[in-house]
């Protein structure tokens, strides 16, 4: 059995991952409304990743005989005013997700819950990638986004992203 504090933190993380999916779906919808379908595609795939992250946390609890407790998911309430802002919101959101995972990892470390730490290792690495990817979108937008042709090419590049489910073995 897992420590009850760890279980509570993981249940909270499940809800946070599902909220993250909502955030990215909202961003995807914004870009789709603006006819930036490549950006919309990139964030729609991000929605799928976040949903799968929640499922991985749920699987971990179930495989350890723990109860999953779902809670309400708040709808995002963004009012974007330009094309850069959603990417910035995504980057800032990923920093919060990273902090939340580090919080669980720190609690597991304190009680020497090596099983949970090993499980979280994949998420720690994944969050580094998530932050890097959203930061790169912002930097590339800053370079090319004010030029219509540059924005078109960046949008086309983001349209090429395809979904690849995570390969974490629990």
- Give the integer Cα–Cα distance in Å for 91 and 138: 8
**Residue list for the binding site:** 17, 50, 53, 94, 127
Pair of tokens at residue 142: 């800053």
**Residue list for the binding site for Fe cation:** 17, 50, 53, 94, 127
Helix 4-33 vs helix 84-110: crossing angle, to nearest 10:
170
Is residue 24 within 8 A of residue 91, CB to CB? The reply is no
Q: What is the DSSP string of 98-118?
A: HHHHHHHHHHHHHTT-HHHHH
Q: What is the DSSP string of 60-73?
A: HHHHTT--------
- Give the integer Cα–Cα distance in Å for 21 and 85: 18
- Give the integer Cα–Cα distance in Å for 33 and 152: 15
Dmax (CA) of the chain: 56
């Amino acid at each position: 059995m897992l420590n009850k504090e760890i279980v509570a933190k993981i249940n909270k993380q499940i809800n946070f991952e599902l909220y993250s999916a909502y955030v990215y779906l909202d961003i995807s919808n914004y870009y789709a409304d603006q006819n930036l379908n490549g950006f919309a595609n990139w964030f729609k795939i991000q929605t799928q990743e976040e949903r799968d992250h929640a499922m991985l946390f749920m699987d971990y609890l179930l495989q350890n005989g723990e109860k999953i407790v779902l809670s309400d998911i708040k709808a995002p309430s963004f009012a974007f005013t330009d094309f850069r802002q959603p990417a910035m919101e995504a980057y800032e959101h990923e920093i919060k997700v990273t902090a939340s995972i580090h919080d669980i990892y720190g609690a597991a470390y304190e009680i020497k819950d090596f099983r949970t730490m090993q499980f979280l290792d994949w998420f720690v690495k994944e969050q580094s990638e998530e932050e890097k990817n959203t930061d790169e979108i912002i930097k590339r937008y800053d370079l090319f986004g004010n030029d219509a042709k540059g924005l078109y090419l960046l949008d086309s590049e983001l349209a090429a992203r395809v979904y690849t489910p995570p390969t974490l073995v629990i």
